[in-house]
Amino acid sequence: MSANDDLDRRLIVATQAGLPLVPRPYHALAEQLGTTADEVMVRMNAMEQFNLTVQLYLSDCFYYF
Amino acid sequence: MPKPTPATLDEIDRRIIDTLQGDFPLCDRPYAAAAQRLGIEEGELIARLQSMLARKVLTRFGPMFQIERMGGAFVLAAMAVPAAEWDRVNSAVNAFAEVAHNYRRESALATPFNMWFVLATETKEGIAAAVEKIETATGLPVYPFPKLKEYFVEMKLVVRNAGEGA
């Protein structure tokens, strides 16, 4: 697994509970993952290139098909 | 799952939910940028998101990654759990990190399946391994329902006032 793939994976794990609710969330993630905020943003953009979304799940209204 | 109390959302909360679905900025201060679009302060947006999460109006606020494009897999799975064993099996199933969205469901058809959940794994091969682990832990078979074709997944919600007609 390349370093990039590993960073993607760690980014998914780090944001599983959600995006940090701090003024600079990408900086907070970068610090946690030992990288730069620019790299975090680039990776997030690349991973979600088809669909850059922040989803809000309303309780009782999440459906899987 | 206990029925949640109806959420109390004011007009700004509703606009936050409507506006941020599907679009959140990638920049140094994304909350500040999003707040500006909403006509509120950065601190207020963060505080309102925290409050909606604390009240369980929102269950998560964060990026949705396309894990299937990254080699991961999602599979819907079902189990037929005897009523007397429900609690034990439910706890055992929920203990697995691969399990999400576990629901007890009923059906008008004569299906034995009453527990439905989604398995999410980092690799496609991980699904079979997860099924096996859950079967070992519960002593019951797990039936995966791999999808044949994906038709439509995205769901966006428009939040209205109670009594406000469509």
Task: Tell me the pLDDT band of A59, cut-offs 50, 70 and 90.
Answer: very low
Distance from the A34 Cα atom to the nearest Cα atom in chain B, whole angstroms = 17
Degrees to nearest 5, angle at CA A55 with B157 and A51? 105
Look at residue A32 in the predicted model and tell me its pLDDT.
Answer: 95
Q: Is the dihedral of CA A1, A48, B147, B119 positive or negative?
A: positive
A48 CB neighbours in chain B (<8 A) are 63-66
Query: Which of 4-63 (A) contact B at CB < 8 A?
Result: 5, 8-9, 11-12, 15-19, 21-27, 37, 41, 44-45, 47-48, 50-63
What's the average pLDDT block by block, 10 residues per block, for chain B (166 residues)?
Answer: 62 86 84 93 96 83 73 88 96 92 85 92 90 97 84 59 49
Q: How many residues does chain B have?
A: 166
Task: Tell me the pLDDT band of A61, cut-offs 50, 70 and 90.
Answer: very low
Q: Are A40 and A47 in contact (CB under 8 A)?
A: no
A23 CB neighbours in chain B (<8 A) are 29, 31-32, 42, 46
Look at residue B114 in the predicted model and tell me its pLDDT.
Answer: 94
What ipTM, to 2 d.p.? 0.74
CA B78 to CA B104: how far, in whole Å? 10
A65 CB neighbours in chain B (<8 A) are 151-153
pLDDT digits (tens, 9 = 90+) for A4-53: 568 888 888 888 788 999 999 999 999 999 999 999 988 888 776 444 44
Look at residue B95 in the predicted model and tell me its pLDDT.
Answer: 95
Who's near B125: CB < 8 A, 6+ residues apart?
A: none
Pull the structure tokens for residue B6. Answer: 């109806």
What residue of B is the nearest CA neighbor of A54?
A: B63
B59 CB neighbours in chain A (<8 A) are 57-59, 62
Hey, what long-range contacts does A26-29 have (CB within 8 A, 24 or more apart)?
A26/B26, A26/B28, A26/B30, A27/B28
Q: According to DSSP H, which parts of chain B are helical?
A: 11-20, 30-38, 42-54, 86-94, 126-138
CA A50 to CA A42: how far, in whole Å? 14
Beta bridge partners, B92, equal: none
Q: Is the CB of B53 inside 8 Å of chain A's CB atoms?
A: yes
Look at residue B165 in the predicted model and tell me its pLDDT.
Answer: 45
Q: Parallel, antiparallel, or unpaired: how do β-strands B115-121 and B58-63 relate? A: unpaired
B66 CB neighbours in chain A (<8 A) are 47-48, 50-51
**Which one of B66, B76, B154 has the shortest CB-CB distance to A64?**
B76
Count Cβ atoms within 10 A of the Cβ of residue B5 and give its class: 0-12 exposed, 13-18 middle, 19 or more buried: exposed
Supply the Cα-derived Rg of chain B in whole angstroms.
20
Look at residue B12 in the predicted model and tell me its pLDDT.
Answer: 92
pTM (2 decimals)?
0.61
Look at residue A58 in the predicted model and tell me its pLDDT.
Answer: 52
Helix (H) or strand (E) holding A14: helix A3-14
Say whether A19 and B62 touch across the interface (CB within 8 A). Answer: yes
Eight-class DSSP state of B22: T
